[in-house]
Amino acid sequence: MVSDNVLLNIEKSDGNSFELIQAKGANGSSEEEANTASKTIQWNYKLSNNKLTLPSSFILPEGQKFRNQKVLLTLKVPVGKYVYLGNTYGVLRDFELDEDKDYPNEYEDNLWQMTNSGLICPSYP
């Protein structure tokens, strides 16, 4: 079974480095069952040169019941650095945006820069 329950949050880093924090979660009738279900998630990111690829889905092993398994990601971006969100990443996202700016209707296919106040889209007026 394939699930697209991959959630990405982008926030400002406290330091000068990018950081990706990953957690896996699931529901279950007990904490033990939930932990077991989350450990069956087969999801891996790819880092090549300066490009981080985050798959928008993951595979559950054959016969595994759906227990609302999810991959929870937090990408911490240093101030002054950029992230590009391609048009194929169809996950629920939460961004720390600069509230004093306007933004395009679609987050995808835009270059974003982290500022002290949050993300801005420099190409958007």
What is the number of residues in the chain?
125
- pTM of this prediction? 0.81
Report the alpha-carbon distance of residue 35 to residue 92 in Å, rounded.
Answer: 23
Q: State the total domains in the chain.
A: 1
Is residue 34 in a domain?
yes
Confidence (pLDDT) at 27: 95
Report the alpha-carbon distance of residue 61 to residue 117 in Å, rounded.
Answer: 42
Would you give per-residue pLDDT tens digits along the chain (125 residues)? 888 888 888 899 999 999 999 999 999 999 999 999 999 898 988 988 888 888 888 988 888 889 999 999 999 999 999 998 776 555 656 666 666 766 655 667 788 899 998 888 887 76
Confidence (pLDDT) at 28: 93
Is residue 125 in a domain?
no
Confidence (pLDDT) at 95: 67
At 32, is the secondary structure helix, strand, or coil?
helix
- Report whether 53 contacts 46 (CB < 8 A): yes
Structure tokens at 90: 């169809």
Question: Chain-centre distance of CA 71, in angstroms?
Answer: 8
- Report whether 13 contacts 19 (CB < 8 A): yes
- Report whether 102 contacts 125 (CB < 8 A): yes
Those residues whose C-beta lies under 8 Å from the C-beta of residue 47, and which sit 6 or more positions away, are 53
Is residue 20 in a domain?
yes
The domain of 44 spans 2-120
